[in-house]
Amino acid sequence: MGWKFRKKKNIPGGLWVKCPSCNAMLQRKKLEEAFGVCHDCEHHFRIGSRQRAASLLDEGSFVEFGNDFLPRDLLEFSGYDGTLERSRKRSGMNEAVLVGEGRMEGMEIAIGCLDFSFVGGSMGMVVGSRIMAAAEHALEKSTPLVLVAMSGGARMQEGALSLMQMARTSAAIAKLGEAGLPYVSILADPCTGGVIASFAALGDVIIAEPGALIGFAGPRVIQTTIGAQLPEGFQRAEFLLEHGFIDRICSRTTLRAEVASCLRFLSTGRQTA
């Protein structure tokens, strides 16, 4: 099987970057300007949440909030403080999600983007609280919500507190539904575990990036548990689209226009209803 879950796909350092898919030599600056999409083969590199927010929002419109929620080692889990410290240094983030408000093609929205470079984009207490803050902000301002999920799942260092975030975030999304406010969920590579088992799977529209790995347990775990071979491409975005789990696949180059069009459609329905 060609599973490459552990293969690093974020943009490495240096002036030039080799595309892992087509081997083209890409100028790092140009690649960053293209929000991490190879101009030759459209390979999607992993990008950080600030770059992600910039790729989706009108220039200069993003205003962050929720950053006063900061992670703490509540369970005194061995090594967790060190993990957080290393992640802060490596990613320049203070948690695995960035939330705020901004404009998308002129529309006010609340937005949250997970960042895989911070403890694998895992969801602990603070990620849950920030996503709730984004949903509550949308509710308060009567705006749509857009979340980009990119995560290894629940944060094991926060144990049951981490699992509780599945219920907290799902409840926050349910309130948006009751208020008739649209929520678009974007699934980037990889989107697994407790994140896909909660808010990421609850979008009114669920859009995945091409080739993204999406699933609850990893393919190896499933294969050993059920003792059977899994079909080719199992848990990739294309397979999930074919089986009705997601609504569409969209390249990052046209994602902003696609999400904006979904939001306009859903918002128009709401006004005339």
Which residues of the shown chain bind Zn ion in the complex (CB under 5 A)?
19, 21-22, 24, 38, 40-41, 43
CB 57 within 8 A of CB 39: no
Query: In terms of CB distance, is 212 or 263 closer to Zn ion?
Result: 212
Q: Closest approach of Cβ 211 to Zn ion, in Å? A: 12
Q: Are 104 and 259 in contact (CB under 8 A)?
A: yes
Structure tokens at 254: 């046209």
- In this complex, which beta carbon is closest to Zn ion, that of residue 24 or of residue 167? 24
Tokens of residue 27, six digits = 């100028």
**Minimum CB distance to Zn ion smaller for 21 or for 223:** 21
Closest CA to 31 of 50, 7, 12, 56: 12
Nearest distance in Å: CB 241, Zn ion: 22
**Please, what is the minimum distance in Å from the beta carbon of residue 22 to Zn ion?**
3
Is 16 strand, coil or helix? strand
Residue 103 CB-density burial (10 A; 0-12 exposed, 13-18 middle, 19+ buried): middle
Minimum CB separation of residue 86 from Zn ion in Å reads 30
Query: Minimum distance from CB of 26 to Zn ion (Å)?
Result: 7
Nearer to Zn ion, 38 or 54 (CB): 38
Let me know: does 125 contact 74? Beta carbons within 8 Å: yes
